[in-house]
Amino acid sequence: MNNVKHITGALLIVLVIWQAIVSLSGWNEALLPTPWRTLQGFGELISDGVLALDIYDSLRRFVIGYTSSVVIAMLLGLVLGWYQRIWGYLNPIAQVLRPVSPMAWLPFIVLFFGIGEMPALVIIFIAAFFPVLLATVAAVQSLEPVYLKVARNFGIGQPQLLFKIILPAVFPRIATGLHLALGTAWVFLVAGEMVGAQSGLGFLIIDARNNLRADLLMDAIITIGVLGLGLDALVRCLEHWIYRRWGLTPLNR
Amino acid sequence: MSYIEIKDVTRTYPLRGQTFTALSQVDLAIERGEFICLLGPSGCGKSTLLNMLAGFDRPTTGSLTIDGQPVTAPTIKYVTIFQNYGLLPWRTVEHNVELGLESLGRPAAERRAIAEKYLELVGLSNFRDRHPAELSGGMQQRVAIARALAVDPEILFMDEPFAALDALTRMKLQDEISAICREQHKTIIFVTHDIDEAIVLADRIVIMTPNPGHIKSIINVDLHGRRDRTSPDFLHIRDQVFTEFSLKPEDKTEYYI
């Protein structure tokens, strides 16, 4: 109930400030839409089905890009965390690549993958990859030694050791990386879709800008924000399900 | 030849550019079915010795054999029980007990039957679907004991298994493990720093002292049948152990220099 109160309050504050800026600044409504225009824009986008289609395409790309990135980064992180000698050589490379914005790779991505669907996927992939990889490697390296002793004692060898013991043991630590990666990847979805994609929320933003439809631009921004929030809640649910399933306690509790 | 033979075993570690001797020239022979307690203060090398017997560590010099075979790596024939239980928190109690049986390739139905049998033995049948975090420390250690017994090992290595438990739970578990292990004819090597615990449990108490870790003496415990912690025999042995430990004051002076 408190939540509802807070959200309603926040919404009211935003609307008042927004309307005040529009009214007081005197900018052209084509450049800065009123809340009411924006709402009408939503009506337009929903009624001609554009919004649903764009949301669908964006989510599809996000799910493919994020899932493949997270799965590969986790597998790689488990193996590299385990074989520390190899990681010794790869760690400097990862540390150099990690702070580079995925967008910087864009010309090369276009060179390798062309334009359209792939750049968005690749950029999401890169954005999610490093947080998860580094979190997994760190988690494996700080694994409680007693689990490994038990595994050795009971004759559990590779690859069962990785999946039966190490992965569940380090999962609570990886979860932090998964969260971080989700936010980053969602941010870069829009950037990725600005390159040659013919659909999606990123395309909607470009399209609205090109057509001087500031109201639709605002609609796209709001949609991205709300969906990002929703995705975060979804991953949180999934995480809690895994915690319950495995009888684990989350790290920061 | 004895079942377990420890011959002239020394273990050293490099420590800040120097060599630290954790265990020096240890000789010990243990027979099948014996309950041995390694008793001593921290730093006496008792856990180091246990770790080497269990195959987690290797001696720097000397030899360790079990049943005529040199110890090189842990095996499922000899199971270790740890102070912090070593249960897998994401598995239910029953699946924890089944862990070793999975490695042995037993079919699921058989695994369940064996797990059930040993959970009953340690009195946890009603908790088989719980996760370890939902159990008390004493119950968790019972699960670890059931998990160890489930693979029918010849030897149980126990590394201060009850040190984290409260005194009353500890005494209860001592009686239980004593009864269970003698009933199942296991050989037990039990590390502890608790004098009473050693007397209640052991057939022989191996007294160890630090700087460097070595065996000072071995005390035979001839308390037959159920061990009464207040009987004169018990107190007599207790007195013997106290005498053994208070004899070495120069150890401490050496340590602080």
**Residue A191 confidence (pLDDT):** 84
Q: Are residues A93 and A215 in the same domain?
A: yes
Confidence check: pLDDT of B249 > 80: no
Smallest CA-to-CA distance from B53 within B232, B209, B185, B206 is with B206
Residue B204: pLDDT band with limits 50, 70, 90: very high
Confidence check: pLDDT of B44 > 80: yes
Contact A152 B134 (CB under 8 A): no
**CA separation for the pair A12, A24 (Å, rounded):** 18
Domain for residue A50, yes or no? Answer: yes
Nearest-CA residue of chain B relative to A167?
B90
Show the tokens assigned to B205.
């108490």
Smallest CA-to-CA distance from B10 within B27, B30, B31, B25 is with B25
Domain for residue A229, yes or no? Answer: yes
Q: Are residues A26 and A98 in the same domain?
A: no
Contact B88 A150 (CB under 8 A): yes
Q: What angle do CA B160, B163, B164 make, to 5 degrees?
A: 130
Contact B86 A248 (CB under 8 A): no
Q: What is the CATH number of the domain that holds A218?
A: 1.10.3720.10
**Residue A151 confidence (pLDDT):** 93
Residue B134: pLDDT band with limits 50, 70, 90: confident
Nearest-CA residue of chain B relative to A244?
B90
Kindly list the residues from chain B whose CB atom is less than 8 angstroms away from the CB atom of residue A245. 90
Q: Are residues A55 and A169 in the same domain?
A: yes
Q: Are residues A73 and A139 in the same domain?
A: yes
Q: Are residues A69 and A120 in the same domain?
A: yes
Nearest-CA residue of chain A relative to B83?
A146
Contact B88 A168 (CB under 8 A): yes
Respond yes or no on whether ipTM tops 0.95. Answer: no
**Residue B35 confidence (pLDDT):** 92
Kindly list the residues from chain B whose CB atom is less than 8 angstroms away from the CB atom of residue A149. 56, 74, 80, 82, 86
**Residue A253 confidence (pLDDT):** 39
Question: What digits encode the pLDDT tens for the residues B16-34?
Answer: 888 888 888 999 999 998 9
CB B21 within 8 A of CB B10: yes
CATH class of B29-77+153-246: alpha beta
Domain assignments of chain B as residue spans, ordered by start = 29-77+153-246, 86-152
Confidence check: pLDDT of B235 > 90: no
Q: Are residues A145 and A240 in the same domain?
A: yes
Q: Are residues A41 and A153 in the same domain?
A: yes
Query: Does residue B134 sit at the A interface (CB-CB below 8 Å)?
Result: yes
Domain for residue A253, yes or no? Answer: no
Residue B225: pLDDT band with limits 50, 70, 90: low
Kindly list the residues from chain B whose CB atom is less than 8 angstroms away from the CB atom of residue A165. 88
φ, ψ at B19 (rounded to 5°) = -105, 120
Q: What angle do CA A137, A139, A140 make, to 5 degrees?
A: 65
Domain for residue A240, yes or no? Answer: yes
SS3 letters across chain A: CHHHHHHHHHHHHHHHHHHHHHHHHCCCCCCCCCHHHHHHHHHHHHHCCHHHHHHHHHHHHHHHHHHHHHHHHHHHHHHHHHCHHHHHHHHHHHHHHCCCCHHHHHHHHHHHHCCCHHHHHHHHHHHHHHHHHHHHHHHHHCCCHHHHHHHHHCCCCCCHHHHHHHHHHHHHHHHHHHHHHHHHHHHHHHHHHCCCCCCCHHHHHHHHHHCCCHHHHHHHHHHHHHHHHHHHHHHHHHHHHHHHHHCCCCCCC
Question: What digits encode the pLDDT tens for the residues B63-111?
Answer: 999 998 999 999 999 999 998 889 998 899 999 999 999 988 889 999 9
Domain for residue A126, yes or no? Answer: yes
Question: What digits encode the pLDDT tens for the residues A150-197?
Answer: 999 998 888 888 888 998 888 888 888 888 899 999 999 888 888 778
Contact B84 A154 (CB under 8 A): no
Q: Are residues A27 and A106 in the same domain?
A: no
Confidence check: pLDDT of B256 > 60: no
Contact B133 A249 (CB under 8 A): yes
- By residue count, chain B amounts to 257
Domain for residue A215, yes or no? Answer: yes
Residues forming beta bridges with residue A101, ordered by sequence position:
none
Q: Are residues A28 and A46 in the same domain?
A: no
Q: Are residues A124 and A221 in the same domain?
A: yes
Confidence check: pLDDT of B206 > 90: yes
Question: What dihedral do alpha carbons B167, B168, B169, B170 form, nearest 10°?
Answer: 50
Question: What digits encode the pLDDT tens for the residues A94-103?
Answer: 999 988 988 8
Contact B134 A247 (CB under 8 A): yes
Contact B90 A248 (CB under 8 A): yes
Q: What is the extent of the structural domain holding A15?
A: 1-32
Question: What digits encode the pLDDT tens for the residues B154-196?
Answer: 999 999 999 888 888 888 889 888 888 888 888 999 999 988 8
pLDDT averaged over every residue in chain B: 87
**Residue B144 confidence (pLDDT):** 93
Q: Are residues A117 and A130 in the same domain?
A: yes
CB A119 within 8 A of CB A177: no
Selected residues 26-85 of chain A with any CB under 8 Å from a CB in chain B: none
Element (H, E) at B207: strand B204-209
**Residue A171 confidence (pLDDT):** 86
Q: Are residues A24 and A105 in the same domain?
A: no
Element (H, E) at B79: strand B78-81
Selected residues 92-151 of chain A with any CB under 8 Å from a CB in chain B: 146-147, 149-150
Contact A149 B86 (CB under 8 A): yes
Confidence check: pLDDT of B255 > 70: no
**Residue A252 confidence (pLDDT):** 43
Amino acid sitting at position A199: S
**Residue A1 confidence (pLDDT):** 66
Residues in chain A predicted with pLDDT less than 50, given as ranges, are 252-253
Domains of chain A: total: 2
Nearest-CA residue of chain A relative to B57?
A149
